[in-house]
Amino acid sequence: METKIEDRARVHLLIEGRVQGVFFRASAQAEAHRREIKGWVRNCPDGSVELVAEGKRKDIDDLIAWCRHGPRGAEVANVQVEWQEYSGGFSAFRITR
């Protein structure tokens, strides 16, 4: 069954706390792949992690919920959520620099 365009979503997240050095990016990539979400994740110079994701709205909501705790060893203090217009411009979910 094809996903309707109105069921698709794009979100930009900034995840703050102890989120670097705990495999947050690799774990987020695995979570995204499991949900067939496309986009990217990267470490920021200030110690936060930035993530852009596109996919089905329910899957995006599930990824945001996961980001609120992250992988074992992470201590997420805050997740800034900014909804954006879906573009469909990603072919995979990648870790970037």
57: annotated active-site residue: no
37-70 in b/e form (b: 16+ CB < 10 A) is bbbbbebeeeebbbbbbbbbbebbebbbebbeeb
Q: Which of 18, 35, 42, 43 is catalytic?
A: 43
35: annotated active-site residue: no
DSSP state for residue 7 in the 8-state scheme: G
Residues with catalytic roles = 25, 43
